[in-house]
Structure 1
Amino acid sequence: MSAKPFSSVWTRERKGPRDQGLSRDQIVRAAMELLDADGLDALSMRKLGAHLGAGATSLYWHVANKDELLELVMDEVYAKVVIPEDADWYNAATAFAYGMRGAVSQHPWSVTLIGVLPSLGPNALTAAERLMGAFSSAGFDGVDVDYAVAAVVSYTLGATVPEVSYLNAVAQAGTDVVGMQALMGPIIEEIGAGYPSLMARYDASAITMTDPLTARRFAFDFGLAALLDGLAARIPGNRTKDRRITREAEVHGDT
């Protein structure tokens, strides 16, 4: 089977409005309005045209298909990930992590597009370049730059995507996080009866943190701080921990 040819909206020349028609920015804004209101499954070129009061010709003048439209709206999500141009590695990584978490949380439909559509738009590439540049300036070298960036991106999305997916499921169930917690509590107690250590931790967490969303924010803060502390230990000139890990690997025959 031959591979499907890859195409991207970013490889095509941007066109202006056709015959006093809609601009690309108008189309993207309207698409995001529909997505934020009704989710990804509700978006179609027909519905978008009706929302804008325009025919299909005005839409297809700017995008060849729905996938190209989604590339554009996803880059608008990345527009919320603002990394200052002169930020050091720690502040750049922090800005990316909180910016990406906030953007995905604000636009929960984007969860199912991350990793599916290529991030080739100017906002996504600007964020990537600034994050990579900050790590390079800190002293990370060669492939270590890629690994450091990947660690920050992977942690951010790994912690955020399941949370947003859960919130999507809660919304679809017609309740909120507190209501879902109340519904799940008795089930967890019943099923977890044979796991006393887990249940003791669950009960303690329920007592000390009554707001589930706040607990998730604290958990994100803790994980990000731990990750950045680990990256700081790997900056050239501060590699004692790295050398110890290497020696331990040699002792155990892992290298």
Structure 2
Amino acid sequence: MLNQVNEAIQTHYSRLDVGSVILAALEKVGKDLDHLTPEDLAPVDEFHIRGRAATLELARAAGLDANKHVLDVGSGVGGTSRCLAKEFGCRVTGIDLTDEYGLAAAMLSSKVGLADLVDYHQGDATNLPFDDGIFDVVWTEHVAMNIPDKTKLYAELHRVLKPNGTLAIYDVLAGPSGTVLFPVPWARSPDTSFLVRPHELRMLLESVGFTISEWSDTTEVAREWFLSLAEKIRKEGFPPLGFHLLLGRDFQEMAQNQGRNLQEGRIVLGQVVARKLI
């Protein structure tokens, strides 16, 4: 069952030679491919609601600095890892189930001069290929929605953290007002969507040993951001550089559904900081 879910998730996210697709789009909008910056990549590589703004908010809440080694679980094409490395000077290791994303992440990080601060691996978040207690911070944005075994996921995140380490989460959670309308950016059908409600996430984290130190409901600002994005796509079509490069033409329907899911309370957004106090 798990292998079938993982295969379906990889199929959902996989796009052949996604790094070259991104570079072609950058060139199309006039970027010099020999002098790229992380900011040039931001419209496509921060693959979560509110993009870079949400990443920076979570990073500040988690107290990131240049002394921290961060594990970015579900690192995608590397947008978050590059942002954290550039803005805070920390070392970031990324891991993602989709191999094409890791290859693109490494290539793009080299292009923007951050290869010495970031590295990427292919792997399953519920079976991390790392020793116990080696990361100062474990980070995850918009990833747990695709993972059915939440207890195993959070136990693994707890395992690889150092004592007194920090878990930083920004995730989509089940809302109070009905089931999710599909397709959405993380799943084309319910078969690969595994949302929990906020109180369930709190219980899951505490059950594996985390102590929650901060919890913010960011649904309202997320709703405004996504509705604005969906309306812009409806009026103007896709920009040259955007999330549709990762998900294809049906991203327009995904964006519209995501806006409705937020507007109708079918999903909510949570920013969580927790500690491993042993």
TM-score exceeds 0.5: no
Structure with greater helix share of residues: 1
- Larger strand share, 1 or 2: 2
Higher-Rg member (1/2): 1
Measured against the shorter chain, the TM-score band is under 0.3
Higher RCO (CA 8 Å, separation ≥ 6 residues): 2
